Structure 1
Amino acid sequence: MQEISGKTRVVGVFGWPIEHSLSPAMHNAAFAALGLSWVYVPFPVPPDGLRKALEALPALGIVGVNLTIPHKERAMEYMHKLTPIAEAIGAINTVHCLPEGLLGDNTDGEGFFRPLQERHYEVNGKNALLVGAGGAARAVAYTLARKGVKKLTIANRTPERAEQLGEWLRARCPLLFEVEAISLDCRSHLHAVMEEAQLLVNSTSVGMYPHHEAEPPIPPEWLQPNCLVYDLVYNPMETRLLKAARARGCATIDGVQMLVWQGAAAFERWVGQSPPVATMEAAVRGKLQGV
């Protein structure tokens, strides 16, 4: 890390809690690799302190911050301007302090999609199954729709939430070929969907440490070799779902890659140059492996 001085530029992340965040490790590794006098700081910001914390950013000379649970939606009302993608998704994960005020952005969709691009996976015309209907699912669903997915099935334990996400998506992406919402408990329907799915995305916390021994949301025996399995969980790096998918001959993407690419997009917004993504990924994997 570069020596911290009065010229050091500061960025960070607001969350509650924030102790678990891997963002400081990956951003500070990138700053060090580029020889930049920047530092990324985790800020524990409780919900009732969010407005004051955001309003203080310009006065403190902080360039910007990321936002994590539980701030992504609430922070929108304190922004002076939103990027089109943040406005469409209805949540922000990145704030940039500009002379004209606070700009709210959302890099989750880009973070999700870049690993697919890196492996030259073509979403257009594919059938996809998205498990979960929370905040991450909204960014994933919107991105898949904009990239031309042929059919998107949203499966959730609470089918009403899946249907709400489906309606939200139809309103914003009317040209989407087909979107349906189903219950994860409707096993026969879910099995039929999996037989046609070429992309499976798990956006739930099922399989996340310390509950990493939980049963995968999709029975492993349903996985077809031609289906790419993408698990947004990054701790552990290889979830039970991904392990089962590899055993079935499926290509896989783990959650570390989305975490890194959404961070890389925020880095580029703040710094104005591309970060060393491989360095960021190595820092995250090193932290997860206890290196």
Structure 2
Amino acid sequence: MNSQTQLIGLIGHPVSHSKSPEMHNGMFAKLDLNYVYLAFDVPPSHLKEAIEGMKALKIKGFNVTIPHKVEVMKYLDQVSEEAKQIGAVNTIVNDEGRLIGYNTDGIGYLRSLIEETGVQLKGKRVLILGAGGAARAIGYTIANSPIGQLTIINRDQNKAHILRKSLEQYTKTDVLSIEQMEKGVKEADIIVNTTSIGMAPNIDQSLIKKEWIQPNHLVSDIIYNPLETKLIQEARSQGAQVHSGLGMFIYQGVIAFEKWTGITPDPSYMRLKVIESIKEKGRNTC
């Protein structure tokens, strides 16, 4: 075994909520790998220095979370074609001094969605709530699958139209206003919440009224803390098929882990470590 510990980092602002350290460090320990994963709270004003420092310290790789997924691209030596198309990076590999950026969010989401629900995407009408970094990654990946139509709803109409313009080359894409939410939900087959509405501690919030959801819907929420959001709970009570955000989080981590180490980790064990951490925090705050 290499006696020098390899460091993997997470940069974002804030980062205290992230379960990535528990997930990756648990997997490193199980595989007896001499790696450690640490979270670094980096305000936007210090992003450039943080990247330079990580390069100087020969850190093996790192994840990138909000608000740095777009800005960080200008400080990298290379960006994958998929990340360029998405316009955001969430995983960086230090390849002997060259920093290479990837985006594992979209493919992680799609892998989770298909494996956990068995959904056939061909011809489906997909509604995406939100137009931020996660929506860009998921939208790009979904738009490149054989869906029938993609609809975007976001409070900031300008951002929604920017996302539409970037995706309409891949599939039929349109934008609805917040006021047209009911129409968008009722016309969709698959509903994907990419916003933070419903995330802990604001667990009593949802963008969608319960009565709009029908048994023919597949409702997906990328939030993984809580493990089941109000949206997911209400969708299940209405008889809809549901898909929580834990799978996306796990699989984007699996792909990143592979890129850093060359080893394929066990998704079920990574899932277990995240669930343990969420439940432990819940007990500690009671």
Q: TM-score, normalised by structure 1?
A: 0.91
Residue in 1 that maps onto 2:274: 284
Query: How far does residue 54 in structure 1 lie from its aligned partner after superposition?
Result: 1.2
Q: How many residues align?
A: 280
Cα distance per residue 1:16-59 (max 9 Å; x no partner)? 22222110000001111111111111112222221122122233
Distance 2:174 2:87 in 1: 21
| 2:60 pairs with 1:63 | yes
In the TM superposition, residue 240 of structure 1 has moved relative to its aligned partner by 0.8
The separation in 1 between residues aligned to 2:158 and 2:7, in whole angstroms, is 42
Q: What are the superposed Cα offsets for residues 130-150 of structure 1, whole Å, 9 maximum, x if unpaired?
A: 111111111111111011211
Instruction: Tell whether the 8 Å contact from 2:27 to 2:270 is kept in structure 1 after alignment.
Output: yes
Amino acid at match of 1:192: K
Look up the SS of the partner of 1:102 in the other structure. Answer: strand
1:178-224 C-alpha deviation (Å, 9 max, x unpaired):
211011112xxx3333233211100111111121112x211111112
Residue number in structure 1 paired with 2:139: 141
1:211 corresponds to which residue? 202
The answer to whether the Cα contact below 8 Å between 1:260 and 1:277 also exists between their aligned partners in 2 is yes
Unmatched 5+ residue regions in structure 2? 282-286
Question: Which amino acid is the alignment partner of residue 278 of structure 1?
Answer: S
Helix, strand or coil for the counterpart of 1:41?
A: strand
Are the aligned partners of 1:199 and 1:227 in contact in 2 as well (CA < 8 Å)?
Answer: yes
* Residue in 2 that maps onto 1:185: 179
Q: Which one of the candidate residues 80, 85, 88 is aligned to 2:85?
A: 88
State the shift of 1:175 in Å. Answer: 4.0
**% identical aligned pairs:** 41
Q: Does 1:39 align with 2:29?
A: no
Q: Is the 8 A contact 1:157 1:185 kept in 2?
A: no
Q: CA deviation at 1:262?
A: 0.8
Deviation track 1:102-123 (CA, whole Å, cap 9, x = no partner) reads 1011111012111122132222
**Matching of residues 91-130 of structure 1 within 5 Å:** 91-99=88-96, 101-119=98-116, 120-130=118-128
SS in 1 for 2:280: coil
Question: What CA distance in whole angstroms lies between the structure 2 residues aligned with 1:99 and 1:10?
Answer: 14
What is the aligned-residue RMSD (CA, Å)?
A: 1.7
Q: Is the 8 A contact 1:16 1:69 kept in 2?
A: yes
Find the aligned partners of 1:290 and 1:100 in 2 and give their Cα distance. 38
Which residue, out of 151, 167, 170, partners 1:169? Answer: 167
Secondary structure of 1:264 counterpart: helix
CA contact (8 A) 1:33 1:276 kept: no
1:242 alignment partner, one of 226, 232, 238 = 232
**Which residue is equivalent to 1:264?**
254
Asked if 2 retains the 8 angstrom alpha-carbon contact of 1:197 and 1:227, the reply is: yes
Question: Do structure 1's residue 72 and structure 2's residue 69 form an aligned pair?
Answer: yes
TM-score, scaled to structure 2:
0.93
Counterpart in 1 of 2:191? 200
Contact 2:176/2:184 (8 A) holds in 1: no
For structure 1, the 5+ residue unaligned runs are none
